[in-house]
Structure 1
Amino acid sequence: MTDRVSPRQEQVLTSVLVTGQRPSRLQRQGRYTRESMRHPGKMLPAIASQVISAFTEPGDLVIDPMCGIGTTLVEAIHLGRDAAGVEYEPEFVHLTVGNLRHAHAQGATGTPQVLCGDARNIAAICAPLRGTAALALTSPPYGSYTHGHVLSGRDNGGGSVTKRHHRYSTDRGNLAHRSLDALLEGFGQILAGTSTLLRPAGALAVTVRPIRVKGELIDLPGQIIETAAGHGLVLTGRYAALLAGLRDRGLVSRASFFQMLETGRARDKGIPACVTAHEDLLILQRAADLPGGGR
């Protein structure tokens, strides 16, 4: 963790965020609509709520430029913050609206808005919000397919293990379909546009993990840091947000069936693969907002 975060943030966030104590399914149970569970790439609610609590105050505005089913927005309005999100896929916008209505029915007090559009144009889409957000929180897509959900033999009458809800998007215009270089270029545009919506000293938080491309482990967090720097954004904090549970000084894996399967296959080939136990939480700020212009 660097020394540029505020004293309040240092008091709230430790270098490791204990965000995986409950499985993702239980974190969302009753808090999100059953329909929205089919989204294949959801942020952990505990990550969103801890980050929002650390970097904002009640009444502040929180933005997610790639909001998916609206996890950032839902957790923000439950915490009394206002929220705005942009989502490329109309189906996911529908799911976000359902989750926001559900949150208000449960007593959430923040005011949300969600827009359907390409986040690469977020500065224009959300122009009225320019310079007003205390925090932006998001995560990049990891590809057009994810592990999704599993139907085992127990679930399908003794048949083979199959996936469901694993396709992120069928729209070729979605960044999830692009090559890694194109993904980074597009995500850089999103970061740059989102930064214009931040108020002075506002924070842009990205949750991201390394990925494998054709068997090679790619330092996606490091590449996003470099991409952000090319758009005038400086890394001011880096944390580990646990996806695993913490029990008796050890980790309890929350890895999916397919992640465990693929990790085992990689090890059989001599690749020292491990299941994912955490995501990097990157805190970025505009260089111009920092003492000395970020130098």
Structure 2
Amino acid sequence: MADPHRPIPLSVWATAQQHPRVQRIDRYTPESVAHPAKMLPALARHIIATFTEPGELILDPMCGIGTSCVEAAHLGRHALGIEYEPRWATIARANAALATRQNADGTIRILTADARRLPAIAPSDIAGKVALVLTSPPYGKATHGQVQADRTRGVHKRDYHYGHGTGNLARHDLHGLLAGFTDILTGAAALLHLDGLIAIAARPYRQDGELVDLPGAILDLATHAGLLRADRAVALLTGLRGTRLVPRTTFFALHNTRTARDAGTPLHAVAHEDVLLLRRQDGSDPDGRAT
């Protein structure tokens, strides 16, 4: 396991020094771009490299196109990804195969399954061996998607749905999302090594004009999953050039911000994601002291 005495790193992470498209060049199939809310590869790499060691096991119970798994394999870790939607699971397997062809040192397993049924659906050989659970829940569909523009049709939005199945948490209201995510965290926590961590990337978003504090809500539900807060960090979604911020804001995030301001709401474009670091209540704190 990673050294429990190692100091917690800086709480602001520069994970968008390169544009997301540049971060994904060569490591991900062209079909991967269709997923509406892909984790930044640099963010996944930073978390995995900081909190795990080569040879350890990473679990992403909502893996999408497999970003966390691919980055883990390239860092010499092993990864298990679980994805509810067959479309994204197929793409995740293609990305895993690409990582293998590129001689990644780690291995990747992708399951098409409902992570709310963890740990029952997980391979029996990983119980108590997961060093890091790294994931991001579906949220804020108004900020996601791809943009296509032409002179005749104008601006057209595409690829902003996670999936169409009614069981997909992305199609639930906030209450349903949090209930399902509690089930996922409870199951994932049962697979953790005693000193393992759970890292969740999330951000506040607006729905029908109301601000939804998703990171705060996740911290509240963590206790119901047998988890305690270990730390909280900020992953920048903007680049840094000296003292200047380089925006990486999507078209629709900017559009939503402008629309809200025109309506009198002093909205700002989101420039970071919260990263919540959680540990089991029966685990060790960041200084290595047993609880």
Indicate whether the TM-score tops 0.5: yes
Q: Which amino acid aligns with 1:44?
A: L
Q: Runs ≥4 in structure 1, deviation > 6 angstroms? A: none
Residue 210 of structure 1: aligned partner: 204
User: Cα–Cα, structure 1 residues 8 and 53, in superposed 2: closer, same or farther, change >3 Å?
Assistant: same
Task: Out of 245-254 and 186-195, give the one that drifted further.
Answer: 245-254
Q: How does 1:231-250 map to 2 (within 5 A)?
A: 231-250=225-244
TM-score, with length taken from structure 1: 0.93
1:118-174: CA deviation from partner (whole Å, max 9, x where unpaired): 010021011511100100100000156653110112xxx543100111121111111
Consecutive unaligned residues in structure 2, runs of 5 or more: none
Distance 1:288 1:99 in 2: 35
Deviation at 1:268, TM superposition (A): 1.2
Distance 1:249 1:240 in 2: 17
Question: Matched residue of 2:92: which SS?
Answer: helix
Residue 148 of structure 1: aligned partner: 145
Q: Does 1:133 align with 2:130?
A: yes
Q: Does 1:96 align with 2:71?
A: no
Distance 1:113 1:35 in 2: 19
Residue 119 of structure 1: aligned partner: 115
Residue 277 of structure 2: aligned partner: 283
Distance 1:29 1:111 in 2: 20
Question: Matched residue of 1:188: which SS?
Answer: helix
Distance 1:71 1:132 in 2: 21
CA contact (8 A) 2:142 2:252 kept: no
Distance 1:19 1:58 in 2: 21
CA contact (8 A) 1:63 1:135 kept: yes
User: Cα–Cα, structure 1 residues 144 and 241, in superposed 2: closer, same or farther, change >3 Å?
Assistant: closer
Q: Which amino acid aligns with 2:149?
A: S
Consecutive unaligned residues in structure 1, runs of 5 or more: none
Aligned length: 285
1:229-260: CA deviation from partner (whole Å, max 9, x where unpaired): 12210011100011111112121111111110
Deviation at 1:276, TM superposition (A): 1.2
Alignment counterpart, residue 47 of structure 1, candidates 27, 31, 43: 43
Residue 68 of structure 1: aligned partner: 64
Deviation at 1:287, TM superposition (A): 0.9
Q: Which amino acid aligns with 1:88?
A: Y
Percent identity reads 47
Deviation at 1:106, TM superposition (A): 1.3
1:27-50: CA deviation from partner (whole Å, max 9, x where unpaired): 001111111111111000000000
Q: How does 1:103-114 map to 2 (within 5 A)?
A: 103-114=99-110
Distance 1:142 1:255 in 2: 16
